[in-house]
Amino acid sequence: MRGAPRERPDRGLRGGGAPIATVAVLRFPGSLDHHSAARAVEGLGAHAVTAWHADPELPAGTDAVLLPGGFSYGDHLRCGAIASRAPIMAAVRRHADAGGRVVGICNGFQVLCEAGLLPGALRRNATLSFVCRQMDLEVADDGTPWTGGVPGGGTLSIPVKNNEGAWYGDPATARVVLRYRDDLLGSTDRVAGVTNDAGNVMGLMPHPEEACDPLLGSVDGRLVLGGLLA
Amino acid sequence: MTQVVVTVMPKAGVLDPQGQAVAGALAQLGFGGVGEVRIGKRIELAISGDDPAGQARAMCEGLLANALIEDYAVEVLP
């Protein structure tokens, strides 16, 4: 995996046209969901390339960045803590500071919070158990590119699968985009996803890449990942 | 090498479901008189240099603790 980003010349094309954007999918030791995330963004017509945690720069031509789910560095110390200090994260920070789109899913959300690119922190679920189920999410802020034009109060159906998915933070100062309809994990104010103030960096515990195919019961994840390309 | 012990605890007011579960289990076992239980971690460091306590504090700020949800204490062992 080390070295040049993996090319997928056979994918990322929709209707035979050129890819509409290049999305760098980060990979840390312990990342799990990079394949499904890459497949999901390619389904949106983008080109997915892999960025390795030790790389000092994002792949050339990167338009947007996706931090996938998993258990980077075995969740040691705190989930996302060690990954947030990896060399590639300096490049992600520069990309975000320049206004580039970044989305962190599950462990990727934890990494972005630990890196200070998003407000808050993720803690152990109040259930003290791994929660894996479809969740209804309420759109709390429809002014970001991450909800595909669904108006405030609208609902998205996207699954969660995590052990440390309870967001802790100040919902009065954080820009909350998605809330769980049901308070299952113990998140402050039922928060499921937040952006930075500018709205170009998004993090959420639910897995939009697992809700991109009708076979999986919902395609609402496409609305979230569409924010990478908007 | 100086032995330094760092204790990291969830901040007061931050939900500690682990501590709550242990408190419930203790009560179930018949241990009365247990109020709140909170669970943190202890990190033992062997540090060289002139200012092991200062170094340990810098490590806490930089990695070992998340100031949003955790407090830390540094103890230099004799």
Residue-wise pLDDT tens for chain A (230 aa)? 344 444 444 444 444 567 789 999 999 999 999 999 999 999 999 999 999 999 999 999 999 999 999 999 999 999 999 999 999 999 999 999 999 999 999 999 999 999 999 999 999 999 999 999 999 999 999 999 999 989 999 999 999 999 999 999 999 999 999 999 999 999 999 999 999 999 999 999 999 999 999 999 999 999 999 999 97
Q: What is the pLDDT of residue A230?
A: 78
Please give the model's pTM, rounded to 2 decimal places.
0.91
Contacts of A6 (CB under 8 A, 6+ apart): A49, A50
Q: What is the pLDDT of residue A18?
A: 73
Q: What is the pLDDT of residue A205?
A: 98
Q: Which domains does chain A possess?
A: 22-228 (3.40.50.880)
Query: Any chain A CB within 8 A of the CB of B69?
Result: yes
Q: What is the pLDDT of residue A83?
A: 97
The DSSP symbol for A34 reads: H
Q: What is the pLDDT of residue A16?
A: 52
Contacts of B6 in chain A (CB under 8 A): none
CB-CB under 8 Å, A168 with B63: no
Query: Any chain A CB within 8 A of the CB of B14?
Result: yes
Q: Pick A128's closest partner by Cβ from B14, B18, B68.
A: B18
Q: What is the pLDDT of residue A1?
A: 39
CATH of B2-76, one of 3.30.1280.10, 3.40.30.10, 2.40.30.110, 1.20.1560.10: 3.30.1280.10
Instruction: Name the token pair of A76.
Output: 């040691």
Instruction: Name the token pair of A185.
Output: 């994990």
CB-CB under 8 Å, A125 with B14: no
CA-based nearest residue to A108, from A96, B71, A99: A96
Based on the number of CB atoms within 10 Å of its own CB, is A215 exposed (0-12), middle (13-18) or buried (19 or more)?
Answer: exposed
CA-based nearest residue to A209, from A46, A79, A33: A33
Q: Are strands B2-10 and B41-47 parallel, antiparallel or unpaired?
A: antiparallel
Q: Which candidate in B39, B63, B70, B71 is best for mutational testing of the A interface (most A CBs within 10 A)?
A: B63
Instruction: Name the token pair of A36.
Output: 């499904």
A67: which strand partners? Answer: A104
Q: Are strands A175-180 and A201-204 parallel, antiparallel or unpaired?
A: unpaired
Residue spans of the domains in chain B: they are 2-76
Q: How many residues does chain A have?
A: 230
Question: Beta-carbon neighbour count of residue A169 at 10 Å?
Answer: 21
Q: What is the pLDDT of residue A19?
A: 77
Q: Pick B17's closest partner by Cβ from A77, A121, A186.
A: A186
Q: What is the pLDDT of residue B13?
A: 87
CB-CB under 8 Å, B14 with A123: yes
Alpha-carbon separation of residue A29 from A1, A33, A58, A75 (angstroms): 11, 12, 17, 10
Cα gap A149→A109, rounded to integer Å = 22
Contacts of A82 in chain B (CB under 8 A): 63
CB-CB under 8 Å, B21 with A168: no
Residue in chain B nearest A86 by alpha carbon? B63
Residue in chain A nearest B41 by alpha carbon? A77
| Beta sheet of A101-105, edge-to-edge order | A47-52, A22-27, A64-67, A101-105, A201-204, A191-195, A175-180, A131-139, A155-162
Q: What is the pLDDT of residue A8?
A: 43
Instruction: Kindly give the parts of chain B with pLDDT less than 70.
Output: none
Q: Are strands A191-195 and A175-180 parallel, antiparallel or unpaired?
A: antiparallel
